[in-house]
Structure 1
Amino acid sequence: MGTADMGLLARARVATRLPAQDLERARRFYSEKLGLEPVDERPGGLLYRCGGAEFALFQSAGASPGTFTQMAWQVDDIDSVVALLTRRGVVFEVVDLPGLRTGEDGIAEIEGNYPSKGARGERAAWFRDSEGNMLGIGEPVHQS
């Protein structure tokens, strides 16, 4: 790889792919619970756009283990987003690990995340979609 080729991926847009054993069930979840509609579809796949990024759900015989965050959204007001999604029936994960614990509101306070964003930490919450994919929501906590 020549010097001119270095950084090609750094300039590329990232597009997340999430498996779905039942694509129609997943479409309903993303529409009814998250308020998202696909911008494009093909047999076996749904494409979504959020904030200039893309993610796709694809028909898969395999199942996600749902043991780690596979995709997350960065929001400006996590309290409002969690409250809205909870009203729509989204169930947030309870996390109780050393150094990482969600409060009664389903939101964890994470110190030290994202100093490159001018943040001193992050507030985060996690939930699973209808297919078992672990999804997250985060809000950087900026220096005050």
Structure 2
Amino acid sequence: MLKDLDAMAVLPAKDISRAREFYRDKLGLEPVQEMGPENLIYKSGNSTFLLYQTDNAGTAKNTQMGWVTQDFDREVEELRSRGVVFEEYDQPGLKTENGVATMEDVGKGAWFLDSEGNILNISSI
């Protein structure tokens, strides 16, 4: 059943045009398919995600999608060079320095907001 199927992340966008520009200019991603004027499908590695227009965008307080990389520092620097700003956290179990958390037995992680307020993550393992 589901264990044999690919999963797709679904992210909301209040302004699909603004979101499309963010994903293109900041993350280097272009839609692989458009489903009407308010639904964009992206491919990243072997994964896909849908970006769809809704007024509910930006209301989640949790990480909604993330990428895993073998070269964390290079990816973070590339994102910064494109204007991505990483969030700072100081809470039990998670403290960032210059936008990066180093987590024992897990690796590094950094979180940023897209143009619609969705929390995205990049991490190493």
| TM-score interval, smaller chain | over 0.9
Deviation of 1:64 after TM superposition, in Å, equals 2.4
Q: Which residue of 2 aligns with 1:102?
A: 96
* Cα distance in 2 between the residues matched to 1:107 and 1:136: 10
Deviation of 1:38 after TM superposition, in Å, equals 0.5
Asked whether 1:56 is paired with 2:50, we answer yes
Q: Which residue of 1 aligns with 2:69?
A: 75
Deviation of 1:99 after TM superposition, in Å, equals 2.1
Q: Which residue of 2 aligns with 1:92?
A: 86
Q: Which residue of 1 aligns with 2:15?
A: 22
CA contact (8 A) 1:108 1:125 kept: yes
TM-score, normalised by the number of residues in structure 1: 0.82
- More contact order relative to length (CA 8 Å, sep ≥ 6): 2
Q: Which residue of 1 aligns with 2:41?
A: 47
* Greater fraction strand: 2
Deviation of 1:61 after TM superposition, in Å, equals 1.9
Q: Which residue of 2 aligns with 1:138?
A: 123
**Secondary structure of the corresponding residue to residue 39 of structure 1:** strand
* Residue ranges of structure 1 left out of the alignment (5+ in a row): 1-7, 112-119
TM-score, normalised by the number of residues in structure 2: 0.94
CA contact (8 A) 1:22 1:59 kept: yes
* Residue ranges of structure 2 left out of the alignment (5+ in a row): none
* Same amino acid, percent of matched pairs: 46
Higher-Rg member (1/2): 1
Deviation of 1:15 after TM superposition, in Å, equals 0.1
RMSD: 1.0
